[in-house]
Amino acid sequence: MHLNHVIYQLSSVFMTELISTKSNSPFSTGLPALYSIAFLSGISIGLFNPFISTLMAQHQVDDLWIGANSTVYFLVIALGTPFVVKVLPKLGLRKTMMLGLTMMGISAPLFTMTTSMPLWFIIRAVMGIACCLYLVSGNTALNHFCHEGNRAIVNGLNALAFTFGFGIGPVIGSAFYNVSPKLSFLLGSALIFSGVIVVWIALPDKTVVFQQSSRSGIFNKLKLPLQGAFAYGFAESTLVSLYPVYLLRQNYNIEQIGYTFAVFVVGGLLSTVPVTHIADKFGRLKVLFMSVSIVILSFLSLSLIQDSTATQIFAFIAGASISPIFPLAMALIGAKLSRNELSSGSALFTAIYSFGCTAGPIASSLAIKLFGDGYIFSLVIIIFAIFLFYVGRQNKKFPFRSA
């Protein structure tokens, strides 16, 4: 009896060590499914958003309305975050994510089936609710399934998957859009629906508890990463919503627009994992400072030049420098919060990112209307310049810290 007890104890220790070893892998249970959803989320933003703007522009819709339509999408994501926080504990991660993917797959193709401005805004709002459901649940799940030992690389791989989807989206969209906008959106919808199967098969359901009592304290702890989330969201939404319209006015055809976005994404694909790996070794704040500096220079160049070859070069540099900013900011969250605070921190990060996405199109379209097309990225540059100042100040305070 005593021998059996010893064997049982040894087996328990062995299994605990085995599970612990597996859990440190960036491909442990649940994480590959989340990378897949990040990839599909990237396709959703990379395909639907720029080609919705293109569709509206081809119907002679004013820039301000195009920007406002995109703003509604991101505003709903931001305002819907508290609602998702309440839904998540009741439905669980898996059902919440599946609900969002299903809503996106149904609503997105409807955009090409009407030319009614009010309906366009209603459809975009529904798409925003859908995206909010799987974006918040995805970011929350990422923090639950990863561990301190693999947090940076997990965030890097997740961002890489999103960027890859974001790059494929415009390429797929441009290939089918010329044949039929409806066909392009239906294909995107089919890909989004495939995410429901991925979640059902590969994502374990998990109970989520949000620690709401320390929300104001969490906000104070995350001032710097939240600034990064806002700046990244502002730039990303401006790029996907208004840059296609800008390129159309520069006499780019649909294929050239798709290739320009693809070049931007290739830069992100090649840089995200190496840059986050370097940040773990030499300090996230130092690498973040360098990335933001290059972002400012590249977006300034994109707004000044008109040569197509130079545009693609600077689009590559812009993609390579801006893509690591999101995972670096996410990694800072894990370094600043306790595990019990991670869910609330992830939700707050998503909300601020979405507010940045909300402000980007409408504010940048106003800048274009007031000052001209060349000022499309003027506000992006200003916001990143402010962020750069605070990153530099934080870096001086803690020069020897890895975070």
Per DSSP, 198 falls in state H
Q: How far apart are CA 30 and CA 42, in angstroms?
A: 19
Q: Note the pLDDT of residue 202.
A: 87
Other CB atoms closer than 10 Å to residue 27's CB: what's the count? 12
Assess contact for 88 and 140: CB atoms under 8 A.
yes
* pLDDT recorded at residue 232: 94
Contact 80, 124 (CB under 8 A): no
Two tokens at 394? 């934080």
**Among 4-8, 77-81, 165-169, 195-199, whose mean pLDDT is lowest?**
4-8
Q: Which of 191, 87, 198 is nearest to 133 (CA)?
A: 87
DSSP character at residue 377 = T
251 in the Ramachandran plot: left (φ > 0), alpha (ψ -120 to 50) or beta? left
Q: Answer whether 125's CB lies under 8 Å from 81's CB.
A: no
The Cα 268–Cα 262 span in angstroms is: 10
| Residue type present at position 67 | G
pLDDT tens sequence across 325-360? 988 888 787 667 766 676 677 778 888 988 898 888
Q: What is the pLDDT of residue 11?
A: 37
Q: How confident is the model at residue 13 (pLDDT cuts 50, 70, 90)?
A: very low
Whether the predicted pLDDT of 401 surpasses 60? no
Query: Which tokens is 106 given?
Result: 């149904």
Residue with the larger pLDDT of the pair 377 and 144: 377
Tell me the CB-side half-sphere exposure of residue 285, using CA atoms within 13 A.
17
Contact 322, 235 (CB under 8 A): yes
Residue 193's pLDDT is: 92
Question: Looking at residue 207, what is its pLDDT?
Answer: 66
Beta-carbon contacts of residue 311 (< 8 Å; ≥ 6 apart)? 260, 302, 305
Reply yes or no on whether the pLDDT at 192 is more than 70. Answer: yes
The CA distance from 38 to 162, in Å, is 5
Dump strand ranges (E) for 273-387: none
pLDDT confidence of residue 215: 58
pLDDT of residue 257: 81
Tokens coding 134: 């799987």
Q: Give start and end residues of each alpha helix (H) in 25-62.
A: 31-43, 49-58
Nearest partner of 147 among 240, 41, 241, 31, judged by Cα? 31
DSSP state of 214: T
**Rounded average pLDDT over 206-231:** 75
Q: pLDDT class for 17, splitting at 50, 70, 90?
A: very low
Amino acid 303: pLDDT:
86
Q: How far is 392 from 296, CA to CA, in rounded Å? A: 14
Q: pLDDT class for 309, splitting at 50, 70, 90?
A: confident
The pLDDT of residue 3 is 39
Asked if residues 241 and 53 have their Cβ atoms less than 8 Å apart, the reply is yes
